[in-house]
Structure 1
Amino acid sequence: MDADLDVACHLNIFVPDLASEQLPAALDAIADAGYRRVVLPPLDPDAVDAPALRALFAGRGLTPITIAGQAPAADVSSASEEVREAGAALLRRALDLTVALGADQMNGVPYGVFGPPAGPTSRAAFERSAAEVGRIADAAHARGVCMTFEVLNRYETSVVNTAAQAMDYVSASGSDHLRIHLDTFHMAIEESDASAAIRTALPKLGYLELGQSGRGQLSSGAVDIAAIVHQALDAGYQGRWGVEAFSRSVLAPAVADMLAIWRHPYGDGAAFAADAAQTIDAGWTAWAPSRV
């Protein structure tokens, strides 16, 4: 990768989980393609050998990014104090693992349960969620970790679907440290203008993920990824980037089902990573002359 950008590659592009025998080779390929970070799938802190994994990443010059989430009985948006406390505890455990792995960023969906929503999220639930997540974000900052929350499409949540809603969520959190994670895959569904959405979130934007409309290679699809890179840089974005794709041939069946990945948009993780790097480079190259 020629672009002087801090870019992360999602591990699930290569392997289904950390137990894969191909994990070392996948990490080698990610590092060789010029990525600085690797995004991990959701992990069970009790089932992870954090020191061994930390050494595996460090040996390749990669820094991990973790993913935090919620569950029906552990949900910070719940009206039940007990369920909210369980949700906050789940996030704190994810934060502990993040620190143990040597990571300085925790992504994910910390604001509620991932999955098809039963209906709209009430303002009260929105504010309960934001307050709890804001407290975790402040605790994460004190430990050297930036906490972000991903803005998802309407089929996966009703809490936060747009950049404008994300800015409202940050405001409701009361935290100066909580950051927004935008993803071009979700933006293509929910935003009328991706560039405008990036500008809206820019004051709190901590992670800009590049994903194609069909979940495949970044160079081919309805989203002009190179143009998004150019436009984000033009708007003044200086944060981290990520690339994400999913193929049923790579994911565990249960995960593929959860994410509604029914096809095989790509078959070679290394080829995907190289194509993504070239696409990002194209956006960078188009933008760089404007700095002179």
Structure 2
Amino acid sequence: MRRTGCCTWIFGDNALADTAARVAKAGLNGVELFGDTEGIDPKEAAKILNGHGLEIFSLTPGDADISHPNADIRAKAIEYYKALSDFAAELGNPLISCHGQVGRIAPIASQAEEDALLQDSVAQICEIAKGQTVVFEILNRYETHQVHTVAEGLALMKAVGADNLKLLPDAYHMNIEEADPAGALRAGGDAIGLYHAADSNRMGIGAGNTDFAAQIRALDDINYQGPVIFEVNAPGPNPFTPDKGEGFRDIVVEELARSRRIFNQG
């Protein structure tokens, strides 16, 4: 039986206590906590989540443009990750997710220049987070202009050369970018530090056309021991907001519960 969790952002602007109760109701083991380093007291967050029997598996960052050609913008992004690393330390050092500015899908300078800036920033973040594990999330082309596949993620890891850097592939993004998602997971092997799951339509497992049985077999083949983090939404427009209208949080709980059941039958 795999440990399962979900991203807390999928419940929108919601009190953490209510989110924790809903996650527990869905039968999950933990969460990927949104890294609101100024709005959440880490000790209070841990108390709330632990009170519902939930582990903090990982942190997902707020938007911070770590490859922007403007040095001041990059410096601000690195400062955010310094705060996120400190935040993680207060929580017992869960995995720290890292990615670029979501929604920036083209370079401002050149692709080559910004790829070099990304490598440099990720190296800085890994140095800041020594003693912690950083997982670089691989996103699709409609959310970022950099690192769309596991192969590109492996190339980034090689370029950065940090022992504490791993990859975070996501089934939803792989459905868009990978010709063979299960094969990509196998190619990632022990570089896979965390795994996100949502179906092809961003809903829970079983609501779309993703072959999760193949991905589950691949995770078994690479002996992936980490949690499965569900990052699902209720149906509706605008993939960049979880709020799909009245009752969306109840729908999300149903999607999570079904996802957990199906995934653990795999």
TM-score (norm. length: structure 2): 0.86
2:42 aligned residue (50, 53, 62) = 50
How many corresponding residue pairs?
Answer: 262
What SS does the aligned partner of 1:259 have?
Answer: coil
**Equivalent residue for 2:257?**
274
Q: Aligned pair 1:115/2:103, yes or no?
A: yes
CA distance in 1 between counterparts of 2:121 and 2:9 reads 29
Q: Note the alpha carbon deviations across 1:194-228, whole angstroms, 9 max, x for none.
A: 11111222231101111101111202311022331
Q: For residues 267 and 61 of structure 1, do their structure 2 counterparts lie closer, same or farther at Cα, with a shift above 3 Å needed?
A: closer
Distance 1:141 1:177 in 2: 7
For 2:209 and 2:252, locate their aligned partners in 1 and report how far apart those are by CA, in whole Å.
21
The secondary structure found in structure 2 opposite 1:209 is strand
Q: Tell me whether 205-214 or 47-56 shows the greater mean CA deviation.
A: 47-56
| DSSP 3-state at the match of 2:193 | strand
Give the aligned partner of residue 171 of structure 1: 158
Q: In structure 2, what is the equivalent of residue 126 of structure 1?
A: 115
SS in 2 for 1:76: coil
| Counterpart position of 1:155 | 142
Query: Which residue among 227, 230, 240 is the counterpart of 1:259?
Result: 240
- Superposition pairs of residues 131-280 of structure 1, within 5 angstroms: 131-142=120-131, 145-247=132-234, 257=238, 259=240, 267-280=250-263
- Give 5+ residue unaligned stretches, structure 1: 250-255, 284-292
In 1: Cα distance, 2:91 partner to 2:225 partner: 25
Residue in 2 aligned with 1:59? 51
Distance 1:242 1:128, change over 3 A: same
**Alpha-carbon spacing, 1:258–1:211, altered in 2? closer, same or farther (3 Å):** closer
Equivalent position amino acid for 1:221 in 2: G
Q: Is the 8 A contact 2:185 2:219 kept in 1?
A: yes
Q: Which residue of 1 aligns with 2:24?
A: 28
Q: Which residue identity lines up with residue 46 of structure 2 in the other structure?
A: R
Distance 2:256 2:120 in 1: 37
SS of structure 2 residue aligned to 1:268? helix
Aligned to 1:16: 12
Q: Is the 8 A contact 2:34 2:61 kept in 1?
A: no
Rounded to whole Å, the distance in 2 between the matches of 1:98 and 1:248 is 32
Q: 1:38 & 1:20 partners in 2: Cα distance?
A: 11
TM value normalised by structure 1:
0.79
Contact 1:266 1:272 (8 Å CA) reproduced: no
- State the superposition RMSD in angstroms: 2.6
Q: Offset of 1:42 from its aligned partner?
A: 4.4
